[in-house]
Amino acid sequence: MAIDLLRQPPRGFADLAALEPSMRFDIRYHGGDNFTGARLPGYGAPGAWMLEEAAQRVAAVHRELESSGYGLLVYDAYRPRRATRAMVEWAERSGNIHLVESGYIARDSLHARGTTLDVTLFTLDTGELAEMGTEWDVFHEGSHTENATGQARENRRTLAAPFLASDFRGYSKEWWHFTMNTSVDHPARDVPYGASEPGEAES
């Protein structure tokens, strides 16, 4: 499948890659290397946007981690609503609706509001991913933030600490998931990443 051109982020959003070129990205919903086994609608191009304020805070977290020898690798940030619907539809047709019922797949994801991202650590000197105990998007108790020991537990804490200090909150069932706290009720959006994908009002 050909890669679509990345469209410009909607007003009020920023592109994480443009803010911090040393941040790394592995946008797996753009390809088949994710729990559904297929590219998700809205990910015609591999991008990572967030609300401007959230993006600036994430960039600051990345810079803080760099002083300790780490960097951020982003798996997902803003997520078009059509992608969330596709996840739920996958769960329904594949016999995995329990993943929705148990809180691993959201019917109304905060990712669509531009306040949330999925992220891990890599080491600057080797480029290797830090040991976290599980892979990203593994839906079982091993992914629960506190369910790790040894180096994986330390690495999860190293990842979480600057996010929590920057007024993000974690999610107890997913060590990789952080959401910016905000008093503003930001609307869920459905702007796709791919320039040739149907726009927000057309989906």
What is the arithmetic mean of pLDDT over 164-186?
Answer: 96
Closest among 20, 200, 35, 5 to 134, alpha carbons compared: 35
Tens digit of each residue's pLDDT (9 = 90 or more) over 102-151? 999 999 999 999 999 999 999 999 999 999 999 999 999 999 999 999 99
Q: Which among 179, 178, 176 is positioned nearest to 26, based on CA atoms?
A: 176
User: Contact, 155 vs 128, CB < 8 A?
Assistant: no
Instruction: Provide the residue ranges of all domains of the chain, joining segments of one domain with +.
Output: 13-202
* Domain 13-202, CATH: 3.30.1380.10
pLDDT tens string 12-31: 999 999 999 999 999 999 99
DSSP assignment string, 43-83: -SS---EEEHHHHHHHHHHHHHHHTTTEEEEEEE-S--HHH
Q: Which pTM does this prediction carry? A: 0.95
List the beta bridge partners of residue 76. Answer: 118
Q: How far is CA 125 from CA 62, 70, 128, 202, in A?
A: 15, 8, 8, 45
